[in-house]
Amino acid sequence: MYGLEIFPVEGGKPYRLTRDTQILCYLTSYQIGPEDWPHYRQPKKTRSKVIHEAMGYEAFAIPRVASVYMAVNDYAYFQGITHIRMEGPVLRYEYVYDNVQVQDPQMAKRANMVVDIYGIPLPDNTKPTYGVEWYGAFQGFRSAITRNTQMTYCVFRQKIHLEGGRYWSLPTTLPHLDKCVVFYHATNLQAEVSYLAHKKQLYSSAQTDIYVCVFVSGMVLTPKRRWGLSLYSEDGTLVFNTDYLPFTRGQSMALLLREGSVETPYSLPLVCATSQFVNASYQDDNIDWAKRNTGIRFRGKQIFVSERIRDAHRQHHVEQRIPFYVLNGSHYF
């Protein structure tokens, strides 16, 4: 097999860039803010947005914060993405809405959902540029690292251990912690793992080991070794370096809660952590109330999502569609 083998500075598993590798370039981030909050009791809302930075790319939308809470007067409001996709340069998404009671007051301070847009240059993109480009073995795709590329790098990958009912925080020494994208996989089949985006914490319902990968964009790179491959733009900015592993293409998936699980194509699927329904409750009136907590479990290639709801008068499940972005964990572990 031909390609480039990268040995990262942290000493973990090396990675091969081959003709079948597709590196995702960071294009931009889109925030769904307070101006997008619908009126009370409007259960769903559909929106679209032209992402000009996605012109000339096969673009992918990855929710970094897919559900949020916002305090308004004496109420808190919940909003969560249920459908999201890119159609050319157009981002289309749907979200649900409800009023809630939030156990953690810090959660109500988050007023924006965040979607990161990544892309792969289209074969017919003839814009002149410089750098490294390679074509894949199937479907004519190509990957490119050019003077215009904004790379996303893996800055942390580790198997951690977490006791049941405990939290694990991302290291505060990581660069661009406020914009990091977290992927994880739990080894205990019974452990339901959630992510709190506002605290940068993973929570597990049971004792488990968790594979964790953290990616960041916009790093100012300084080569740490005297050997390797570096690419510079015309103004002297370092745009690529083999000290770190790049962010490679995964797969967008979705799951209805009532369906229980979804099959991924990977033996070690790493799921993007998106803060879905963590530790929130909602109240319909003074009598009816419910508490919801969503966790993700793993069994081989399968991903399971559970939503526990306890209600004073009835047991039910919300028809909630959960969007995922899944990476091939065997690339990184």
Percent of the chain residues topping a pLDDT of 90:
23
Burial class (CB in 10 A: 0-12, 13-18, 19+), 257: middle
> Per-residue confidence at 285, pLDDT binned at 50, 70, 90?
very low
pLDDT of residue 69: 66
> What is d(CA 65, CA 108) in angstroms, rounded to the nearest whole number?
14
The domain ranges of the chain are 4-331
pLDDT at residue 197 is higher than 60: yes
Q: Which residue has the higher pLDDT, 128 or 77?
A: 77
Mean pLDDT on 199-225? 87
Least confident of 19-28, 104-113, 138-147, 176-185: 138-147
Percent of the chain residues topping a pLDDT of 70:
67
Torsion of CA 262, 264, 270, 272, to 10 degrees: -50
Q: Per-residue pLDDT tens for 65-111?
A: 887 766 655 555 667 787 889 999 999 988 776 655 555 555 555 56
CB atoms within 10 A of CB 18: 14
> Per-residue confidence at 52, pLDDT binned at 50, 70, 90?
very high
Predicted TM-score of the model (pTM): 0.81
pLDDT of residue 132: 64
